[in-house]
Structure 1
Amino acid sequence: MQIGSDVHNYMETLVGQVLAGDDYVLRFTHEQLSDLACLALNRVRPVYIRYDIDFLSALPEERLVVLKQHVDKAIAAATEMIVDDRRKNRDDDGIEVIHGSQYAEEDSELEWYEKPLIGSK
């Protein structure tokens, strides 16, 4: 048995169906679509199955509608996060970068937080 091929999360199928639509494919880059999928999938409860056809034949239509509604809400929330991405408007001038030496100096004294709590015997 291999989890990736024998068992899968049906919610990935539902999220993928929505994100494959022109509304998303034409609006977002491949990287953004991947982020959308991750964010949306983290907001919905996974439904692990073996075979889609068996699952769908036993699933009441009302329950499928509810699952699709959960996916729609999760994708809407994920879309807001991608559209309002704070990372794209960063001001790099305010970030101070400090470069330290690669190796610690052998003779330097330990800081207070580096000193052992228990003394040597």
Structure 2
Amino acid sequence: MQISSDVHNYMETLVGQVLSTDTYIQQFTNEQLADIACLALTQLKPIYIRHDIDFLSALPEDKLTRFKSSVDIALENATNMIQQDRRTNRNNDVPVIFSHTSYDEHKELEWFEQPILNINSK
């Protein structure tokens, strides 16, 4: 098994379908399209699948509509970020480095973040 070929994030497929339309291709460079894809996918919950046809045959239409709506919103946000890009002169940018990462350890986990197996320690 090779994860890169056997498993993929279905949201990448949806984002790619929208970004391959003439609206985006004519308005943005390939670099900008890649940036938009990254920014949009970061906003979306990944949905890992093996085969599109199997996934889509079991997916209710309203859920697919919600996925597409989420993609449209994420792409709109990402597009606005690229259009208002403040990095016009990247040579003068000073990188920001965080020396300490903090996480809210008391925040409740989302359903997809919780362990599948509940194994009690002995």
- Give the Cα separation in 1 of the matches to 2:15 and 2:74: 9
Partner of 1:29: 29
Q: Could you tell me which residue of structure 2 aligns to residue 46 of structure 1?
A: 46
Structure 1 residue 88: Cα displacement: 1.1
1:77 aligned partner: 77
Q: How many residues align?
A: 93
SS at match of 2:45: coil
2: CA distance, partners of 1:40 / 1:72? 9
Give the corresponding residue for 2:103.
none
Measure, in 1, the Cα distance between the counterparts of 2:51 and 2:33.
Answer: 26
Determine if the alignment matches structure 1 residue 12 to structure 2 residue 12.
yes
- Where does structure 1 differ by over 2 angstroms across 4 or more consecutive aligned residues? 89-92
Distance apart, 1:38 and its partner CA:
0.3
Report sequence identity in percent. Answer: 63
Tell me which residue corresponds to 1:58: 58
CA distance in 2, matches of 1:22, 1:83: 17
Return the letter of the residue paired with 1:59: L
**TM-score, structure 1 normalization:** 0.73
Give the structure 2 partner of residue 2 of structure 1: 2
**Post-superposition offset of 1:18:** 0.3
Gaps of 5+ in 1: 96-121
RMSD: 1.6
Structure 2-normalised TM-score?
0.73
User: For 1:75-95, what per-residue CA distance to the aligned partner results, in whole angstroms no more than 9, with x for missing partners?
Assistant: 000000000000116795xx8
Pick closer, same or farther for the CA change 1:7–1:91 going to 2, 3 Å. closer
Secondary structure of residue in 1 paired with 2:27: coil
What amino acid is aligned across from residue 86 of structure 2 in structure 1? R
Which segments of 5 or more consecutive residues in structure 2 lack a partner in the other structure? 95-122
* Cα deviations by residue, 1:19-55 (Å, 9 ceiling, x for unpaired): 0000000000000000000000000000000000000
